[in-house]
Amino acid sequence: DAGVTQSPTHLIKTRGQQVTLRCSPKSGHDTVSWYQQALGQGPQFIFQYYEEEERQRGNFPDRFSGHQFPNYSSELNVNALLLGDSALYLCASSLQDPRGEQYFGPGTRLTVT
């Protein structure tokens, strides 16, 4: 089992551009959550997808959007990039059960210049 995989590993973008990050969940998991982790901080919840719909959302602007595909994989899109969007973006997969654990991927390091 490959666990949670994310691509790309690193990414450099220019302010104002758009970016798409990808996540494949752990086999058997149907729920994908996305987090943003700034340097030295804990991960901040962006949103969660289940059954191809956004189920929960954190305090992030509409520039952050996502999608979940029928195979449960997911994408995170960020439009009109700002310097402050530079961070590690983590994807976590789980079953639709708040009592269960989330499995995190290694993350995508996004740098906005």
Q: Is 93 within 8 Å of 102 (Cβ atoms)?
A: yes
| The two three-digit tokens of residue 109, written as one number | 């390091």
How many residues bind another protein (CB under 8 A)? The answer is 27
Residue 31 interacts with another protein (CB under 8 A): yes or no: yes
From 14-22, 51-59, 65-73, 79-87, give the range in contact with another protein by CB under 8 A. Answer: 51-59
| Distance, CA of 56 to CA of 58 (rounded, Å) | 7
By beta-carbon proximity to another protein, the closer residue of 14 and 62 is 62
Using CB under 8 A as the binding rule, the residues of this chain from 65 to 94 that contact another protein are 90, 92, 94
Residue among 21, 25, 43, 85 that touches another protein (CB under 8 A): 43
Q: Classify 53 as helix, strand or coil.
A: strand
Residue among 1, 53, 62, 101 that touches another protein (CB under 8 A): 101
Size (the chain), residues: 113
Q: Give percent helix, percent strand, percent coil of the chain, each to the nearest 5.
A: 5, 50, 45
- For residue 86, the cross-strand partners are none
The residues that touch another protein, with contacts defined as CB under 8 A, are 4, 31, 33, 35, 41-45, 48, 50, 55-56, 58, 90, 92, 94, 96, 98-99, 101-107
